[in-house]
Amino acid sequence: MNSYTDKPKRTITRREALAGLAGSVAVGAVGATLENVEAATTEANMEYTVDVVIVGAGASGLMAAHNLKKAGHRVAILEANDRVGGRLKRGEIAGQVIDLGGQWVGPTQTRLLELAASFGMKTYPTFITGKTIAEISGKVTPYRGALPPLQMKSSTELFKLMGGMSRDAETINAKAPWEAKDAARWDSMTVATWAREITSDSAAQDFVRVIIQAVCSVDPEQISYLQWLFYIRSAGNLNQLIDTAGGAQQDLYVGGLHQVCTHLAKSLGDDLVLGCPVRAIEQDDNGVTVHGDKGTWHAKRVVITVPPPTASRIEYSPGLPYQRAGLTQRMPMGTVIKCFLAYDKPFWREDGLNGQAVSTTAEFGAFFDITNPNNPHGLLTGFFDGGPAQRWADRTPDERQKQVIKDVTRMLGRKAKKPIDYVEQNWPREQWSIGGYTSIPGPGVLTHFGEGLVKPCGRIHWAGTETSDVWSGYVEGALLSGDRVAKEVQDILKG
């Protein structure tokens, strides 16, 4: 049992602040003057008192702050980046606004749909008319239907694998997957190990790899089978997770999904502090103190909404219980590089294709047609996911662009060779996200540390899409976690 007793208050001295800022000047803050440093030092020494501090201004943090402020509580929401959104991010290609992070919404993601509608945001469907491209063992084949055109035996084995996943997922309680009857066994193996136990068919195993990479941004050797079952269960079922029509990739937002965060931020005003990484959190019987780059905040409660790997970079005093500390050490982010290609028009449609493709051999994995019907340009978006992203994250943008065009051209033909624009988002190189889409535990983590995902640590509460039991890993899950933690904190403050 962790005891949160009185601890001496930590104050950031002028000398410490000057030393840190001087380091910034030394590495390139050209034109910085002593006055600049003094001003920043003064800002860093400012102290504030609120009811609740929220760490992270992604969808979950903004939702929690919005709800708490609406309920009459004084809040401060501290964000390390110079923008809101977290893993939602605005971009542009060929004059069009795009989502460099999360972008889709499915019909069962009702919290997101309702919230976006309240902001006047409109959707348009992902284009699915025509044939999808499958590249299997180097052979490119157009096909219709939900599953790729494998040989009969391989198709049968793939159905067996997907059916097995679905049946196992139905036995999971998404609120406590570690309590499932077979949880210990499922959490002792990776998805790859489980698949090999079910079938020796390499083509079927290859498509399980494609699914895991596309959905979780890791290889099947890197994710616990229990975590995968939880992921399916939190989405409702496997079809809702992987399908376009009726599934998580059904619709896109005109102007981008990131607008949800922009709209939420408007209600917060000066309570939102950007460019303010949180360095340390102290708590005792009297309250909690949060030290950030732009000041010190005293509060009754603090809510951490950043992903577990980012939360692990904060210094906690007293230290966190091992169940939570151990969790943050064992939930690395997935690895994804999101890429966009713009063309004069969506030429693939003229060839009877829908612009979607999957490949068991390409470095640049699944891609989709996200063309806005009100814009003449054709847009494709796709991903380096899992292993390919790990291999390509430290390459140059030019090298990645060449590989993307090479892979897309092989699947869509020569017209794909000359896009009018290319844009990418290398999420593993983002300082405060360190990857995407979500944190993924390997074997043994959920059964030993899973309860630490949501359980408060004294005055510290946890949110973020990873903590949601509904649509975990998605914006829907992030928003729901913001709702949940806001109510959790409100109930305590009322008491």
Could you tell me where in the chain the CATH 1.10.405.10 domains are found?
Answer: 150-237
Residue 377 to residue 342: CA distance in whole angstroms: 7
The burial of 244, by beta-carbon neighbours within 10 Å (0-12 exposed, 13-18 middle, 19 or more buried), is given as: buried
Residue 30 to residue 159: CA distance in whole angstroms: 60
Could you tell me where in the chain the CATH 3.50.50.60 domains are found?
Answer: 39-85+259-332+439-494
Given a contact cutoff of 8 angstroms between Cβ atoms, the answer to whether 16 and 41 are in contact is no
Mean pLDDT for back-to-back runs of 10 residues, the chain (495 residues): 36 38 40 54 85 99 99 99 98 98 98 99 98 93 88 95 98 98 98 98 96 98 99 98 96 99 97 99 98 98 98 98 96 98 98 96 95 95 98 98 98 98 98 96 98 98 99 99 99 93
- Quick one: three-class SS letters along the chain? CCCCCCCCCCCCCHHHHHHHHHHHHHCCCCCCCHHHHHHHHHHHCCEEECCEEEECCEHHHHHHHHHHHHCCCCEEEECCCCCCECCCCEEEECCEEEECCCCEECCCCHHHHHHHHHCCCCEEECCCCCEEEEEECCEEEEECCCCCCCCHHHHHHHHHHHHHHHHHHHCCCCCCHHHCCCHHHHCCCEHHHHHHHHCCCHHHHHHHHHHHHHHHCCCCCCCEHHHHHHHHHHHCCHHHHHCCCCCCCCEEECCCCCHHHHHHHHCCHHHEECCCCEEEEEEECCEEEEEECCEEEEECEEEECCCHHHHCCCEEECCCCHHHHHHHHCCCECCEEEEEEEECCCHHHHHCEEEEEEECCCCCCCEEECCCCCCCCEEEEEEEECHHHHHHCCCCHHHHHHHHHHHHHHHHCHHHHCCCEEEEEEHHHCCCCCCCCCECCCCCHHHHHHHHHCCCECCEEECCHHHCCCCCCCHHHHHHHHHHHHHHHHHHHHC
Residue 205 to residue 186: CA distance in whole angstroms: 18
Residue 421 to residue 411: CA distance in whole angstroms: 19
Measured CA distances, 29 to 17, 33, 491 (Å): 15, 9, 45
Q: For residue 115, give every residue at least 6 positions away whose Cβ sits within 8 Å of its Cβ, in sequence order, or none.
A: 260, 479
Could you tell me where in the chain the CATH 3.90.660.10 domains are found?
Answer: 122-146+243-253+334-432
Q: Domain spanning 122-146+243-253+334-432 has what CATH number?
A: 3.90.660.10
Could you check whether the bond before residue 220 is cis, i.e. omega within 30 degrees of 0? no
Residue 43 to residue 373: CA distance in whole angstroms: 47
Given a contact cutoff of 8 angstroms between Cβ atoms, the answer to whether 142 and 131 are in contact is yes
Cα of 108 vs its chain's centroid, Å: 18
User: Which pLDDT score, from 0 to 100, does residue 45 have?
Assistant: 81
- What CATH class is the domain 150-237? mainly alpha
Q: Give the architecture-level CATH label for domain 39-85+259-332+439-494.
A: 3-Layer(bba) Sandwich (3.50)
User: Which pLDDT score, from 0 to 100, does residue 44 have?
Assistant: 74
User: Which pLDDT score, from 0 to 100, does residue 14 have?
Assistant: 32
- One-letter amino acid at 319 equals G
Its pTM surpasses 0.85: yes
